A = this chain, B = another copy of it.
Amino acid sequence: MTSFIHVIEFIAVLAGGIYGVLLARRSRMDLVGVFSVAFILAFGGGTLRDLFLDRHPLFWIKHEEFPISVFFLAVISSFIPRFPTWVSKSLCLPDALGLGLFSILGASFALDAGTSWFVASLLGVVTGTFGGVMGEVICNEVPSLFTTAPLYATCAFTGCWIYLPVQGWLSVPDDLAMLIGASVIVLFRLIAVHQDWKLRPHGSTT
């Protein structure tokens, strides 16, 4: 793993962990609950990716500093009795950052394992969205992936399909292509949340 990928993955883990801490605090969980949710948000998608691609040891077992950092995030947050309201309102920032970085990392690792572009984009979407879906399931909200939420998986899919040709057809270095793809996802997601964009739901069959 290059040090560039390592840094990107660390930022993605921190974004996922911060999003998890804020989500769990909003649901009034105790310290163990906060750490558990932060852990699942930070490592859920990447664990699924590593299992699907048979990458061992798992990335959070190999890079011990990842889970230790998330652990300290949860502990530090427990000393803050009450977050100001603007924190709760900016939940979408770490959410979008984690979505963007994990999606592109998932697609990139899949390419490394020799998959086709289509499968790589699927792995990207799974890696990027799984943590957020789990977080919503645990906190007892309806997972927004499966409802008319603002384009959660659509953003991940679009960004992957910008990253894939940019690194494959234009002779752009892989690191730069990853940054471009991830930026598209983060921006697309933030705008979609802000404008409350939705795909049209289909009519019922019943």
Contact = CB atoms under 8 A, between A and B. Distances in A.
Interface in A162-202: 198-202
A140 interface: yes
A6 interface: no
B202 A29 contact: yes
B202 A81 contact: yes
Nearest to A137: B137
What size tier do the contact residues of chain A reach? 35 or more
A1 interface: no
Nearest to A139: B146
A37 interface: yes
Interface stretch (A7-15, A50-58, A93-101): A50-58
B28 A118 contact: no
Contact of A146 (B36, B52, B152): B36
B52 A58 contact: yes
A119 interface: yes
Interface in A69-107: 71, 77-78, 81-85, 87-88
Interface of A: 22, 24-34, 36-37, 39, 47, 51-54, 56-58, 60-61, 64, 67-68, 71, 77-78, 81-85, 87-88, 113, 115-116, 118-119, 122, 138-140, 142-143, 145-148, 151-154, 157, 198-206
